[in-house]
Structure 1
């Protein structure tokens, strides 16, 4: 049996599944998250008030420069891994951060004010199917996002890595 979902979360889920939200949110939510995260020295991520979140610092696929993206995440129970969903709010293209992780899987996340070195792996096959089902239970609007696009939404498992390892 699922836990009762607070009314505000139900309302946010409903709004976030709309096409209007998909048009506006990519321009507003990440900018606000980056600003608040910077001002609070990594202690606060606004969107994490609804969903757990990280700030991913990856290496640009083409530029080779550091790229920061605030993202919702699905922490796994082991405390060492997180799932990142490349939904792009149900917009047609894959988000840039997914291209970056495919080109350069080593990255860093800011999680609850701590910078953690990670390695990313794109999920596929039965593993992806199982994680997708869990992601839909975690945040049902992902189903609306997938229904609006022809591409398969990318799922990544990011895992803590030893910072001393090359």
Structure 2
């Protein structure tokens, strides 16, 4: 498993400001309040990672899509920004994370999809939520698709 998408040379401006953070807090509360929180055709989960540099706990609301193998798929689109989102770098450093989805907290391991597996997953995601197709047009970065798989309970 490798997280290997470099920064692009063009793309939408990466925003991190108080308004974005406030919106994320609202979406996190929304995702936690409902067993089936959604935003249009997309369902929401809350990803909890460990900061790659800070070591601090980080929470991020993300749209997710079902994986054919029973996992959860997310797209590190950052709205077509030239840089990958911070949560992507956090997962690259610490692929074991937790997600809150469907009213439960699930320990997961993240893996980046590559090749035909990525292309097939992205095609299913775009079919379910066509707005994801536009992100590819905004940047020259290859947008990562990440699969979360539930970790087995410790013995």
- Alignment-derived partner of residue 77 in structure 2: 87
Count matched residues.
139
Write the deviation string for residues 123-144 of structure 1: whole angstroms up to 9, x where unpaired.
1111111111111111111111
Over alpha carbons, which structure has the higher Rg? 1
Q: Tell which has more relative contact order, 1 or 2 (C-alpha 8 A, sep 6+).
A: 2
Write the deviation string for residues 129-163 of structure 1: whole angstroms up to 9, x where unpaired.
11111111111111111100110111101001113
1:156 to 146, 152, 155: 146
* Partner secondary structure for residue 97 of structure 1: helix
TM-score by length of 1: 0.74
RMSD (CA atoms) = 2.5
TM-score by length of 2: 0.79
Pairing 1:2-151 to 2, within 5 Å after superposition: 27=20, 29-37=23-31, 42-44=32-34, 48-50=38-40, 51-78=42-69, 80-151=70-141
**What residue ranges of structure 2 are gaps of 5+ in the alignment?**
1-11
- Alignment-derived partner of residue 5 in structure 2: none
More helix as a share of residues: 1
Does the Cα contact within 8 Å between 1:36 and 1:46 map onto a contact in 2?
Answer: no
Cα deviation for residue 77 of structure 1 reads 4.8
**What residue ranges of structure 1 are gaps of 5+ in the alignment?**
1-18
Cα deviation for residue 43 of structure 1 reads 2.8
